[in-house]
Amino acid sequence: MMNRTFGIRHEDKYALERRVAIIPNHVKKLVSYHNLNPLVARSPKRIFTDDQYQAAGATLVDDFKGCDVIFGVKEMPDAFFEPEKTYIFFSHVIKGQSYNMPMLKQMIKNRVNLIDYEKIADEAGHRLIFFGRYAGLAGMINSLWSLGQRYAALGINTPFVTLKQAHQYASLDDAKMSISAVGMQIAKVGLPAEVSPLTFGFTGYGNVSKGAQEILHLLPVIERSPEQLLQLQNEKSLPGNVVYKTVFEEKHLSKNNEITESFDLSHYYAHPEAYQNNFTQYVPSLSCLMNCMYWDERYPRIVTKDYLEQLFHNGRPKLTVIGDITCDPDGSIACTHKGTEIEDPVFVYNPFTRQPVRGFQGEGVLVMAVDILPSELPKEASEAFSNALLKYIPAIVTCDYKQPFEALTLPSPIKKALILHQGELCPDYAYLKTYLSE
């Protein structure tokens, strides 16, 4: 008999995680047009209320004992997994992340099926279901707020001091209005000489970077190439009523000393171990670095602890804030020792003691590294995510997962994202055995 029941869990990894994978309006469509039976875990904090789900046709539950397919957003507790069920969420295991290997082992033990949103992609490898734009939007809002607070802690008054953290705004539109007002003030009055020229650098050009740039463009922005950025400090009579933006691509971040004539992107992705950092030449020219691109341990780090110590050796540099949206612990931004929480979002990293101090005070560079940034814009982020996921839900729910992997009737992008089938690693993810055994 074909399964028609699915669950939507209550997110419990973080206190301020308020997102949901499937919104009430889409639950209503799944009931009306596909005759599906949604069970929704009661939640006191979800951005959409229990009453909204009930009105859409869902049944409110305290557990999923009668449900074999469960949708979530973030990682689920080890004890949550029940034998032979199907779970869909961001598992954060595809890089072999050590902190999630116990969870993956528990899922294998329980012979479950795991679909990871991060791997749902088209034939060209482009992701189809993501929160990336909203990570960029919230990350830039937070970084502008952080910039204002950090400058204030250093005794410099800027228009950014009026801004708030993203989740403190009633909506994305409210946040944009506040930042636009700051932009108008900069255009009219200008910025203090101590911070001019105010420069923003963005690593990467994908959805996260585009979201962050969308917010910055509420200010009066002039774009400069990385090469032009290096000359900016030498220019005379720069206008003080604008900010500057530079977008960095892979060729600006890494170099291969043996390939000098041009940067070969395909070679870089095939042999990242042959490359080294090429980015530090630009860092002294940046006021705020927005880290927006994918990274794993095969690639050179963008900013190392040794480099930060060198940068601060001759006094306080221009670099004031790092908005680490990518948020890989001990990763591309080496001083991001771990992701921060919405209620405690920033720290000042001291390059000499190599220790973080929570808040805006202290010697060093301020780092904003909230690792659930889209949850600071929970309504808009959930609506966009659910809209992208909706067309795949009926097939995910009604699939007979007891069939052999080859016989599963799943859309191709979903089948590619199946990491575990009946507790076994699917062919594309067999490499995870190495991490499971470490």
Write out pLDDT tens, residues 315-361.
999 999 999 999 999 999 999 999 999 999 999 999 999 999 999 99
Q: How far is CA 246 from CA 17, 158, 204, 289, 334, in A?
A: 32, 21, 10, 10, 21
For residue range 69-94, what is the model confidence (pLDDT) as tens digits? Answer: 999 999 999 999 999 999 999 999 99
| Residue 369 · residue 339 · CB < 8 Å | yes
228/233 Cα distance (integer angstroms):
10
For residue range 292-325, what is the model confidence (pLDDT) as tens digits? Answer: 999 988 999 999 999 999 999 989 999 999 999 9
Residue with tokens 């992008």: 413
Give domain limits for the chain. 5-130+379-433, 132-376
Sheet architecture: strand order including 69-71: 59-61, 37-41, 5-8, 69-71, 86-89, 113-116, 418-421, 424-425
Under CATH, domain 5-130+379-433 is a member of which superfamily? NAD(P)-binding Rossmann-like Domain (3.40.50.720)
* Percent of the chain whose pLDDT exceeds 70: 100
- How far separated are the first and last CA of the chain, in Å rounded? 41
Tell me the average pLDDT across 177-203.
97
Count how many residues are written for the chain: 438
Helix axes 132-153, 207-216, angle to 10 degrees: 50
Kind and range of the H or E run holding 432: helix 432-437
The predicted structure's pLDDT at residue 115: 98
The predicted structure's pLDDT at residue 234: 82
426/410 Cα distance (integer angstroms):
14
Mean pLDDT of the chain: 96
Q: How far is CA 26 from CA 51, 57, 90, 408, in A?
A: 15, 10, 20, 25
The predicted structure's pLDDT at residue 94: 95
For residue range 236-278, what is the model confidence (pLDDT) as tens digits? Answer: 778 889 999 999 999 999 999 787 778 999 999 999 999 999 9
CATH of 132-376, one of 3.10.20.30, 3.40.50.720, 3.30.1490.190, 1.10.540.10: 3.40.50.720
The predicted structure's pLDDT at residue 237: 79
User: Is the whole-model pTM more than 0.85?
Assistant: yes
For residue range 24-53, what is the model confidence (pLDDT) as tens digits? Answer: 999 999 999 999 999 999 999 999 999 999
Question: Is the pLDDT score of 183 beyond 80?
Answer: yes
Residue 1's pLDDT band (cuts 50, 70, 90): confident
The predicted structure's pLDDT at residue 193: 93
The predicted structure's pLDDT at residue 399: 98
The predicted structure's pLDDT at residue 257: 76
